[in-house]
Structure 1
Amino acid sequence: MNVDEVLRLRDATPGCAQVIHFNHAGASLPSQATLDAVIGQLQREALGGPMETADIQVQQRARTAAAALLNAQPEDIAFASSGSAAWSQAFNALGPWHPGERILVGRHEWAGNLACMAEAVKAGARLEVIPCDASGAVDPQALAQMIDRHVRLIALTWLPANGGLINPAAQIGAIARHHGIPYFIDAGQALGQLPCDVQALQCDVLKGAGRKFLRGPRGTALMYIRPQFLQRLLPVQRDVLSAPWDGQRFTLRDDARRFETSEVSLALLAGLANALEEHQRIGATAIRQRIVELSQKLRLCMKRIPELTLRDLGSANEQSGLIAFTLEGWDCLALKQALAERRINIGANGVAYTPLDMQARGLNSIARVSVSYLNTEEEIEILLTNLAELAAQPQISMSTQSP
């Protein structure tokens, strides 16, 4: 991705002229075309009637683009309001849990997923953490030693929200498939940041939000379900779309839309479709290369600020565009606010979001910079200058957790 292409993409993104945005892991900046797609659909509904202007082509475009993103088929894709909602639906569709059944998770599992698993634990299931290797990543060899007939689910957060680690998702998938164990991937931070092939990952369920590196609207998410696994999932929530009346009974659909309802925001899906198509035109490989180049430079420069400590895990040769750190003398949320006052957006996470990993490492909170292909070297220099300035004037605030 050359400089001219980056500038063209930035010119097509109104937010780039307003803020320096390093919180793409929270929510990225949409393009004007994505905004136009959302607003255009809303205008059609306002002028012609929401039901009357419900164009099925909008959903088909979004589903086709999502399938291309994941190397799947359109019928394997379901849409949801959030990644957490999608994951919860799939998990609950596994059916009741029983004493002695085991759930194996990475230490970096997203708290929303853990909250769902807590109900299974109440029923007697055991939640067990897969050991990490020397880099802090989930260890496939350790996982292989944990497998027995009581393991009912393996769950992995591919790219954790609290740092640059990239877990070995495909290796985990090979083990899960070999033993016939269901395998769920939380790809919330992966989609739009690096190539994602569900066939190579060998997962049964994969979910991710539209608002992050894909640059889609908030309130959108997608979920892939392996077709051979679909019949094992019985959704708790059903309606006339997911379980239509066939003349004699209500029968669940035989595609991933058994997890959808008839009520959907076509405006948001129109925006998501545009964002997915933009991503496809740029190319996942070019995006990954750009993010690697920028984040590697930023990590090296951040190490030169004496008061700053990087909190990333993983191999230095393969990390994501999420950079976790703490700054001496600064509460992470206070630092985020101080930078926001300078029109620089970063993120900050507390223990509640990745509790197993944060507690294991003794961290109360981390500040997080997340890099996109939209960012520039000039923005990196401005961020570094401001971090150095703030490091020279520490201001500790009451520690709280990120909303």
Structure 2
Amino acid sequence: MQTDQVIPIDKNTVRADTPGLATATLFMNSAGASLMPRPVITAMQDYLHLETQVGGYETERVRADHMAQLYGEIAKLINARPDNIAFSYSAMAAYTQALSAIPFQPGDVILTTTNDYISNQLAFLSMQQRLGIRLIRINDLDNGDLDLMHLEQLIQQHHPVLVAITHIPTNSGIVQPAELIGAICSRYDCWYLLDAAQSAGQLPLDVERIQADFLVATGRKFLRGPRNTGFLYVSDKVLATGLTPLFVDRQGADWTSPDTFAVRANAKRFEPQEKSLSVVGLVEAVRYANQLGIEAIAQVNQVLMQRLRTGLSQIDGIDLTDLGSVQSNILTFHSTRQPLATLDTALRQGGVLFTVQHKQGAIIDFTRKGIDWIIRLAPHYFNTEAEIDAVVELVDQAVTLPPAP
């Protein structure tokens, strides 16, 4: 649970804890896969070393207490109870488990947004083809914010089974109003699924305030954990209703007779049985964020991102493409002055680590913006203002390069 006291982050300490910063690169890719701190790396190395000596099963048994700390750490991060937390291999794996637990019928409606993660949209479209559900998207206001009046009108008109929202889309820095959406959903009989893959570890998350029935996140992004990790939060309502994933395994249920099974009373009914060193890595990543304090992390992030947005906005030939009244530590930009290949090469030669996203990953958003690519920069609290300034200077230089012959 969040407290009023915010202890400033000692940036020298967190940078010393981050071996990846020892290289001569400008790391701006925490929205993709961030740099792991030393406690995460050490925990996984120790686990792997033991596994080479005694095998996977014995290592899991010996390290069971360490792995079990995951639920308490995640619960602390998002203001939940440990029984409401399940480990997952990724945010998308958690997402599909949640979707599979809802007994959709032909004609059922899912409400979602035009700003979403491609894999979520692909899942909806696949369900539309196979199950006959209907997918309806909520309008945006002119400034890019979600139209909450339209959301409520759609709920009243279509009585959706599910409202599915991506808190921060991977292709844009907009922050959707998760708590306001939750307040609307709570007034109606529909499930609420929040994809917090880009917000966990970057912004405060309080599931009591958000009122989500399902919340998914990944470990590799702003939480600074390893790949192949994530988690799923499920509400008490989900558990009490008896929702169970379609493909439950031995971790989630007991085989009670040849033709029956009994699911776990807690969120572990959604959890896979197969786990390894990545779990202890996620434990330490979440613990690291909790020790620093998510409010302190968010404060540093706001300072860094304001500096980056201000610097890039002053460059002639750069168009910042993020809309909305609330923006995150994801910044996207496009240029009509230089082709992508020129910018990509110049920035990488300058040591900037970033992500390029193309239209097929955000077809609705990019179509209405009239662009077919963006460069995404995502600094995190371990970055310095000097690094931000260096990135801005490199972008400025890249945009002003003479055209290729």
**TM-score strictly above 0.5:** yes
User: Pairwise mapping of residues 320-359 of structure 1 onto structure 2 (< 5 A)?
Assistant: 320-332=328-340, 335-359=343-367
SS at 2:58 equivalent = coil
Write the distance in 1 (CA, Å) between the matches of 2:358 and 2:186: 34
Indicate if the aligned counterparts of 1:22 and 1:369 stay in contact, CA closer than 8 A: yes
Deviations 1:255-300, CA, capped at 9 Å, x for gaps:
11112222112x1111111111110011111111111111111111
Partner of residue 388, structure 1: 396
- 2:3 corresponds in structure 1 to none
Residue aligning to 1:64: 72
**8 Å Cα contact 1:336/1:347 also seen in 2:** no
The alpha-carbon deviation at position 48 of structure 1 amounts to 2.3
Which letter does structure 2 place at the counterpart of 1:49? G
Q: Of 154, 168, 181, which residue of structure 2 is paired with 1:172? A: 181
Q: Is 1:285 aligned to 2:295, yes or no?
A: yes
C-alpha displacement of 1:336 = 3.3
Cα offset, 1:383, TM superposition: 0.7
Q: Is the 8 A contact 2:342 2:398 kept in 1?
A: no
Higher mean displacement: 86-95 or 272-281: 86-95
Contact 1:330 1:394 in 2 (8 A): no
Return the offset for 1:337: 4.2
Instruction: Give the one of 207, 213, 225 matched to 1:204.
Output: 213
SS across alignment from 2:114: coil
Evaluate the alpha carbon distance shift between residue 88 and residue 395 of structure 1 in structure 2; reply closer, same or farther with a 3 A threshold.
Answer: farther
SS state at 2:314 partner:
coil
1:141 to partner: Cα distance:
1.5
Q: In the alignment, is the contact (CA less than 8 A) between 1:333 and 1:348 conserved in 2?
A: no
Instruction: Give the alignment's TM-score, normalised by structure 2.
Output: 0.92
- Alignment deviations for residues 382-401 of structure 1 (CA, whole Å, 9 cap, x no partner): 111111111111668xxxxx
Match of 1:239 among 246, 249, 252: 249
* Contact 1:328/1:394 (<8 A) preserved: no
Aligned residues of 2:214 and 2:233 also touching (Cα < 8 A): yes
Alpha-carbon spacing, 1:132–1:4, altered in 2? closer, same or farther (3 Å): closer
Measure how far apart 1:53 and its partner are: 2.1
1:196 match: secondary structure:
coil
Partner of 1:257: 268
Q: Please list the CA deviations of residues 238-268 of structure 1 after superposition, one character each: whole Å capped at 9, or x if unmatched.
A: 2222121246732111211112222112x11
Q: Partner amino acid for 1:139?
A: D
Q: Partner letter of residue 291 of structure 1?
A: N
Provide the rounded CA distance (Å) in 1 between the counterparts of 2:13 and 2:98: 39
2:198 aligned with 1:189? yes
The residue that corresponds to 1:399 in the other structure is none
Once the two structures are TM-superposed, the CA of residue 14 in structure 1 deviates from its matched residue by 0.6
Paired residues of 1:177 and 1:202 also in contact (CA < 8 A): yes
Count of aligned pairs: 393
| Structure 1 residue 346, shift from structure 2 partner | 1.4
Aligned Cα root-mean-square deviation (Å): 2.0
Change (3 A) 1:214 1:4: closer
Is 1:298–2:303 an aligned residue pair? no
Partner of 2:54: 48
Query: What is the one-letter code of the residue matched to 2:18?
Result: T
- Indicate the SS of the match to 1:53: helix
Per-residue deviation, residues 278-326 of structure 1 (Å, max 9, x unmatched):
10011111111111111111111111110111111111xx321111101
Distance in 2 separating the partners of 1:213 and 1:262: 25
Q: Tell which deviates more after alignment, 327-336 or 75-84.
A: 327-336
Q: 1:339 and 1:242, CA in 2 relative to 1: closer, same or farther beyond 3 A? A: same
- Asked if 1 retains the 8 angstrom alpha-carbon contact of 2:167 and 2:196, the reply is yes
How far off its partner does 1:120 sit? 2.5
Which structure 2 segments of 5+ residues have no match?
Answer: 1-5
- Tell me if the contact between 1:94 and 1:232 (Cα under 8 Å) persists in the aligned partners: no
Which residue matches 2:372? Answer: 364
Unaligned residue ranges in structure 1 (runs of 5+): 397-403
Q: For the structure 1 residues 4 and 73, does the alpha-carbon distance in structure 2 shift closer, same or farther, using more than 3 Å as the test?
A: closer
For 1:120 and 1:247, the matched residues in 2 are separated by 31
Q: 2:261 is paired with a residue of what secondary structure?
A: coil
SS in 2 for 1:234: coil
Tell me the TM-score normalized by structure 1. 0.93
> Which stretch of the first structure deviates more once superposed, 194-203 or 118-127?
118-127
Q: Which residue of 2 aligns with 1:106?
A: 113
Tell which deviates more after alignment, 337-346 or 319-328: 337-346
Query: Offset at 1:57?
Result: 1.1
Instruction: Name the stretch that deviates more: 176-185 or 249-258.
Output: 249-258
Distance 1:311 1:138 in 2: 16
Asked if structure 2 preserves the Cα contact closer than 8 Å seen for 1:336 and 1:346, the reply is no
Counterpart of 1:23 in structure 2: which amino acid? N
Q: Determine the structure 1 residue equivalent to 2:96.
A: 88
Q: Secondary structure at the match of 1:185?
A: strand
Question: 2:128 maps to which residue?
Answer: 121
Deviations 1:307-365 (A, max 9, x none): 111111111xx321111101334344653343223221111111232222222322211
C-alpha contact 1:130 1:142 (8 A) present in aligned 2: yes
Partner of 2:322: 312
Alignment of 1:28 onto 2:37: no
